[in-house]
Amino acid sequence: DAKTTQPPSMDCAEGRAANLPCNHSTISGNEYVYWYRQIHSQGPQYIIHGLKNNETNEMASLIITEDRKSSTLILPHATLRDTAVYYCIVKYSGSARQLTFGSGTQLTVLP
């Protein structure tokens, strides 16, 4: 599975959009981009995923570049409860393989 690169930390003002980037330049055609977040030391929580089209759900939006080498998770109106570590991973949709997480981005939403 392709590796991902994320900035170690970001700040965002409460009520503003948080834009979290992820680089996955070695992604292959059948790998999806997934985003998770981890609040304190709870189990990671699934947010959103996509293949090549932009996706939106009740939690966030995912923008994937046309060449699929990078993506951005957008939290449209960040709240203090969105303070967490955000992980971007790429996952093959077929048979099970090693799924590895990087260090993620610590997002701190400031009041």
Partner 1 sequence: NAGVTQTPKFQVLKTGQSMTLQCAQDMNHNSMYWYRQDPGMGLRLIYYSASEGTTDKGEVPNGYNVSRLNKREFSLRLESAAPSQTSVYFCATFNEGWNSPLHFGNGTRLTVT
Q: How much of the chain is in helix, strand and coil states, percent to nearest 5?
A: 5, 50, 50
CB nearer to partner 1: pick between 46 and 79: 46
Q: Contact, 52 vs 68, CB < 8 A?
A: yes
Which one of 14-22, 56-64, 73-81, 101-109 is the stretch in contact with partner 1 (CB under 8 A)?
101-109
Residue 52 binds to partner 1 (criterion: CB under 8 A)? no
Which one of 9-17, 18-26, 34-42, 53-61 is the stretch in contact with partner 1 (CB under 8 A)?
34-42
Site for partner 1 in 53-82 (CB under 8 A): none
Q: How many residues does the chain have?
A: 111
Residue 46 binds to partner 1 (criterion: CB under 8 A)? yes
Quote the DSSP letter at residue 5: B
